[in-house]
Amino acid sequence: MNPISFVKSLIKISKGKPQIPKSLENNELLKIIYKRRSVRKFEDIEIPKDVLDAIIEAGRLAPSTVNLQPWSFAVLDKKEWRELFNKPLPFNANKAVIILGDVHRVLKVIPVAQNCPIVKYTLAVMNASLAAQNMNIAAEALGVASVMLSDTGTGGFFHAEYLKNKLNLPTDVFPLMTIVFGYPKGEYPPMPPKLPVEEITFKNQYKEPNDSILQDWIKQMHAGFKVTNPFSSFQAKLNYYTSNLERAEKELKRMIFGDKN
Amino acid sequence: MNPISFVKSLIKISKGKPQIPKSLENNELLKIIYKRRSVRKFEDIEIPKDVLDAIIEAGRLAPSTVNLQPWSFAVLDKKEWRELFNKPLPFNANKAVIILGDVHRVLKVIPVAQNCPIVKYTLAVMNASLAAQNMNIAAEALGVASVMLSDTGTGGFFHAEYLKNKLNLPTDVFPLMTIVFGYPKGEYPPMPPKLPVEEITFKNQYKEPNDSILQDWIKQMHAGFKVTNPFSSFQAKLNYYTSNLERAEKELKRMIFGDKN
């Protein structure tokens, strides 16, 4: 990207602030929801048990389809993570929660959907993700920052088989993401480039994306990534994913449909 | 279920309170996260534009994998809902947001994963669900109650083709759920039977479900459902899903893998 377009993109990013209506800008919870960022620098401070418990509780109390609660959470501290994965918890985070979509449990008492792999998978992924975001917000409310790992630490659905083996997961339990928690070190990072609200909303008929908005956004993604990751690039990240796509697809397919596929 | 076991189950439900550690019970935001319930009775009061905007903004600012924001939101008021679906918005709700996983947009500027349908679907479902829960909590913070529709109003992934047709969704846009919003009418319903934390968490190896806890929970589900839905039953709800499973599975399969499947 040429320097001028790079700087232009940075300026646009810096303008991308949360849009809190004036009338509501004193709502404390709204402020916390809006100010949450994915943080990748943590202090070497222990998260007390009551604080971690309160975060997990937010996951436990999340809403779910027909209240089926199709989720499980693997809760690990630094030491347990290192023992299980033979590597340190990324970003010097203090605790990790691996979010799993889990219909294995509910099928034991409600034996339906056995032959509907995609219904099962959708139910699990959708609801476990609701619980995950409840934990992210609860943590933020307690001054604890978090980031959801995808490729870093091979903690997400992109490494389904690795996690299934490590955690000894049965059929119908699906690894989704790892949330790592800790007390933030230094300032929060700026908000990454968000698509404008008019681009992601419509009324009653799907609205095709606006090319110039998209081109603008992708430039900001490249520029913003460079600033927060000076030694990497957005393109490098995309290349990593691209080179792992086929493997991940095969693993997910096996996980959802069984070995016959 | 015999009357004694029914009453026993109700008593257990009434004991199932959020477990806020004493040291944190004054955290206002935590209280709001914990007190959220799925509400199905709404006052005939309009949600002001700034309040609805603030809820949508919480969805827009949700975290997502590599900040790809793979989601779209169809935002409809009572009238628009009736015009689109030829039926009233359920529960006298005031506004509806249909949550869609959307990788159609991002593929226009980042043309990867075309041949990885499950990776695309997982990315979309997981991240759009994070945005959905951010909206649920933001609404709660503004005194607006919500419920996520699955079968009611055919607003969820269980009726994928119906929603794809109604909203004219292209390939790689996946309907997940409809959240309806409104000001709650009367008291909040009690907390539905939640699984105990020791049942849904483990450390480093998956823990098989505890049968007696599960049996207990399912009894509470039947009893609790009867109280909140005197004219229906949990079994009736399960039967509805069971009878629709194969259709839903076929529709999801077509949506994810295309017609060749």
Contact B61 A197 (CB under 8 A): no
Determine the pLDDT at residue B164: 97
- Would you say residue B261 has pLDDT above 70? no
Q: Which residue has the higher pLDDT, B15 or A141?
A: A141
Per-residue pLDDT for B18 more than 90? no
Residue range B70-78: average pLDDT? 97
Instruction: Say what the pLDDT of residue A236 is.
Output: 87
> What are the chain B neighbours of A61 within 8 Å (beta carbons)?
18, 33-34, 36, 191, 194
**Number of Cβ pairs < 8 A linking chain A and chain B:** 329
Does A50 sit within 8 Å of B200, measured CB to CB? Answer: no
- Range name among A76-85, B105-114, B117-126, B181-190 with the lowest pLDDT average: B105-114
d(CA B128, CA A201) in angstroms, rounded, equals: 13
Query: What confidence category does residue A24 fall into, taking pLDDT thresholds of 50, 70 and 90?
Result: confident
pLDDT at B172: 96
Residues 6+ apart with CB under 8 A from A162: A154
Q: Which residue in B has a C-alpha nearest to residue A112's C-alpha?
A: B242
Question: Across residues B143-163, what is the average pLDDT?
Answer: 90
B49, B77 Cβ separation under 8 angstroms: no
* Residues of chain B positioned with their CB less than 8 A from the CB of A104: 209
Taken in order A91, B123, A141, A53, is the CA torsion positive or negative?
negative
pLDDT above 70 for A171: yes
In the CATH hierarchy, which fold is given to the domain comprising A34-186? Answer: NADH Oxidase (3.40.109)
Using CB atoms within 10 Å of the CB of residue A258, give its burial: 0 to 12 exposed, 13 to 18 middle, 19+ buried: exposed
- Check residue A59 and give its pLDDT: 98
Indicate the SS3 state at residue A255: helix
User: Above 70 in pLDDT, residue A54?
Assistant: yes
Region of poorest pLDDT, from A1-15, A112-126, B72-86, B239-253: A1-15
Per-residue confidence (pLDDT) for residue B260, from 0 to 100: 61
The pair phi, psi for residue B191, each rounded to 5°, is -70, 130
- Is residue B252 a contact partner of residue B160, using CB atoms and an 8 Å limit? yes
The pLDDT value given to residue B148:
95
From A112-126, A189-203, A220-234, the region with the lowest mean pLDDT: A220-234
pLDDT of residue B15: 73
Listed by start position, the domains of chain A span: 34-186
Predicted pLDDT of residue A168: 98
Query: For chain B, what is the mean pLDDT?
Result: 92
Query: CA A151, CA A46: separation in Å to the nearest integer?
Result: 25
**Cross-chain residue pair A138–B221, CB shorter than 8 Å:** no
Say if strands A173-182 and A145-149 run parallel, antiparallel, or are unpaired: antiparallel
Residues above pLDDT 70, as percent of chain B: 98
Q: Could you say which of B195, B206, B238 has the minimum Cβ distance to residue A110? A: B238
Best mutation target among A116, A120, A140, A238 (most B Cβ atoms within 10 Å) is A116
A33 vs A206: CA distance, rounded Å? 27
In one-letter notation, the amino acid at residue A142 is L
pLDDT for res B24: 87
How far, in Å, CA of A210 to CA of A216, rounded? 10
In this complex, the residue of B76, B117, B199 whose CB is nearest that of residue A204 is: B76
Per the CB < 8 A criterion, the answer to whether B95 and B75 are in contact is yes
Phi, psi angle pair for B244, to nearest 5°: -110, 0
Residues of A in contact with B237 (CB under 8 A): 66
**pTM of this prediction?**
0.95
With H, G, I as helix, E, B as strand and everything else as coil, classify residue B63.
coil
Question: A55, A75, A137: best mutation site toward chain B, by most B Cβ within 10 Å?
Answer: A137
Long-range contacts of A224-233 (CB under 8 A, 24+ apart): A224/A9, A224/A10, A224/A13, A224/A190, A224/A192, A224/A193, A226/A6, A227/A10, A228/A189, A228/A190, A228/A192
Measured in whole angstroms, the distance separating CA B168 from the mean position of its chain's CA atoms is: 22
Dig out the tokens for A146 from the structure. Answer: 């978090």
Widest pairwise Cα distance in chain A? 61
